[in-house]
Structure 1
Amino acid sequence: MKFRAQAFYDAVAETRIKTIFEPRWQLIKQVLQNLQLPLPIPNVLEIGASVGLFATVALQSGDVLAFDAIEPSAAAAERLRNLGLRHVYVGMETEFTGVIEPIYDVIFCNGVLEHPFDPAEFIQNLKQFLKPDGVLVLCSSGASGIDSLLLQQEMPNAFPPHVQNFISDQGIQALSDRCGLRLREFRSIGQLDLDIIYHHLLKQTTEPSEPAIAAVLVKLLDHAQLRADLQAVLQKHHLTGFFLAVLSTSEEL
């Protein structure tokens, strides 16, 4: 983790902030406002905050008054402290249940839900940190993306050992019900499904055994604007490989 925190993440930090986390924060903010959550948010907690790219965007927006984090990596946690977070707890969320008071209005999980062995136990732990009217925001890879559905036989590394769960859209609803939460909002927000399919087909067309249809699809998908337009259709119909889910502890915020 030391190399990733100090070298790799630094090299791509600015690009990731501009292309991923700033648009994501604006979308989350819009969703929370639609749910009548008042801004600025008094107390926020991020689970698995890494080196703080999402935290940086949220704090700089002025929409968060106090930002805390739980981060298992000590190296990444040190970076978080330097960003000015109020509290940084080093470890797993299970270590702080019953220790951290339930003061949080919003808890964020960016790319975390796919890692716990038991997602329901994980969510139940996070509930203990939320206020009675608190909100849990999950952004994670899912099992409903058209890239995974079409290419799963070609993706032997889709489920590396440290990734336990790719949850379907229906699975998020079931998980919410099982944990006694209400699914307030669900959006399919993936942006790369068609790019992944396109580049896979592009590589396959160099093989003589591939059917002619692959070359035709490559020719069609060679147009970036067409891929973007089709990706928007996939988002509308919940067929992308990344989702945003907002769960609440009560019927009303």
Structure 2
Amino acid sequence: MREKDIRPRELLNEYLRLSEQDATTLFADGARDVVPCVACDSGNVLPAFEKNGFGYSRCSDCGTLFQTPRPQLAVFEQFYVNSESSDFWAKTFFPQVAEARRTAVFAPRAAELAKMLKDRGFEPRTVVDVGAGHGMFLSELVGRLEGASGIAVEPSSEMIESCRKLGFEVREALAEDVKDLDGRGDLVCSLEVMEHVHNPLRFISNLAAFTAPGGWVFFTTLGADGFDITVLGEHANAVFPPHHLNFMSVEGFDILCRRAGLTDVEVLTPGKLDVDIVRNKLSELPELLDSQPFIKALLNDDTTAAAFQQFLAQNRLSSHTWVLARKPA
């Protein structure tokens, strides 16, 4: 898999352009609050960089990278309703890559998660997918779990209609506004949502609340320890406010889950794209790593680069992060 397979450059560049435009037009006014580390709650943080008028800091205690000072929640709620970039993603970007993502992302991810659960002797009957989008992952996963049914939680009316057509029970709302799913899910999933949320602890606590005692929470997101984010910093396409706000470290994920009352936390980084992402950025900004000739040499050879990507995944150094945690019985 290559980045262009799931994020064609032309579509990605337009999405990033619209995101930068939204950052300027929709967040020009309004109070911003300095927030402590979104993972461990430490105030021991240092400014890292600024992008699109949004500051990012890194926690000196757990290594988490996060956006602060942060616009207030009401502004973000309006942003997701009114922004051109969100509209472009839902109506143009995702439909053009949907089937490619089903094949390259959703189906393999569902198969691996089903195997992980089987290895633990766990057979979920009800799966709740928070931020279900068009329901592709939920469909792929439920199809691999004998006797399982799915509940989709998704605020987008256009996307939730796709979930209805797939036969899932739905909640057309943000997770924070859902009041009738407590304890319903044997397995509660959330893919690529954590990086967007205003309050990660509140979000994970909601996932935990939806989970039945003894059940499992599974989410995927972007991690601060990842090679592409660490090397590229503010130049990383993954860091694009106002959409992506939170990049927990491996340690930070563990701390955050335990703060939400979850146990048996396992953090994996099975990513495949870090090297390709950095290579693509170097084609745009060839001078970016002039001060790091070793990394440039490492990436120049295809065989070495492939082995390095495998090393990153195996040592929890890819930015693509999976977290599996259990709610105590």
Q: State the partner residue of 2:83.
A: none
Q: For residue 184 of structure 2, what is the amino acid of its counterpart?
A: I
Q: For residue 187 of structure 2, what is the amino acid of its counterpart?
A: V
Moved more, 194-203 or 47-56: 194-203
Q: State the partner residue of 2:45.
A: none
Q: State the partner residue of 2:225.
A: 144
> Which of 131, 135, 138 is equivalent to 2:212?
131
Does the residue aligned with 1:114 lie in a helix, a strand or coil?
helix
Q: Unmatched 5+ residue regions in structure 2?
A: 1-85
Do the aligned partners of residues 230 and 156 (structure 1) sit closer, same or farther apart at CA in structure 2, a change above 3 Å counting? Answer: closer
Moved more, 2-11 or 24-33: 2-11
CA drift of 1:184 comes to: 3.5
Kindly indicate whether the alpha-carbon contact (under 8 Å) linking 1:202 and 1:218 is maintained by their aligned counterparts in 2. no
Kindly indicate whether the alpha-carbon contact (under 8 Å) linking 1:139 and 1:242 is maintained by their aligned counterparts in 2. yes
Q: For residue 112 of structure 2, what is the amino acid of its counterpart?
A: L
Question: Aligned-residue CA RMSD in angstroms?
Answer: 2.4
After superposition, residues 1-253 of structure 1 pair within 5 angstroms as 4-38=89-123, 41-63=124-146, 65-85=148-168, 87-97=169-179, 99-155=180-236, 158-205=239-286, 211=290, 221-250=299-328
Do the aligned partners of residues 140 and 157 (structure 1) sit closer, same or farther apart at CA in structure 2, a change above 3 Å counting? Answer: closer
- Percent of residue pairs bearing the same amino acid type: 28
Mapped partners of 1:188, 1:152: distance in 2: 19
Mapped partners of 1:62, 1:156: distance in 2: 35
CA drift of 1:175 comes to: 0.5
Q: State the partner residue of 2:70.
A: none
How big is each residue's C-alpha offset from its partner over 1:190-249, in whole Å with a ceiling of 9 and x where there is no partner?
A: 2111111222233344x6x974965x8656534444322211100111111111111101
Q: For residue 248 of structure 1, what is the amino acid of its counterpart?
A: R
Mapped partners of 1:81, 1:199: distance in 2: 38
Give the number of equivalent residue pairs: 244
Do the aligned partners of residues 183 and 118 (structure 1) sit closer, same or farther apart at CA in structure 2, a change above 3 Å counting? Answer: farther
Q: For residue 249 of structure 1, what is the amino acid of its counterpart?
A: K
Q: State the partner residue of 2:61.
A: none
Q: For residue 120 of structure 1, what is the amino acid of its counterpart?
A: L
Mapped partners of 1:200, 1:156: distance in 2: 8
TM-score by length of 2: 0.68
Does the residue aligned with 1:160 lie in a helix, a strand or coil?
coil
How big is each residue's C-alpha offset from its partner over 1:118-159, in whole Å with a ceiling of 9 and x where there is no partner?
A: 111111122221111110001111111011111114348714
Do the aligned partners of residues 34 and 61 (structure 1) sit closer, same or farther apart at CA in structure 2, a change above 3 Å counting? Answer: closer
Kindly indicate whether the alpha-carbon contact (under 8 Å) linking 1:183 and 1:245 is maintained by their aligned counterparts in 2. no
Does the residue aligned with 1:77 lie in a helix, a strand or coil?
helix
Does the residue aligned with 1:128 lie in a helix, a strand or coil?
helix
TM-score by length of 1: 0.86
Kindly indicate whether the alpha-carbon contact (under 8 Å) linking 1:112 and 1:140 is maintained by their aligned counterparts in 2. yes
CA drift of 1:166 comes to: 0.9
Kindly indicate whether the alpha-carbon contact (under 8 Å) linking 2:129 and 2:151 is maintained by their aligned counterparts in 1. yes
Does the residue aligned with 2:266 lie in a helix, a strand or coil?
strand
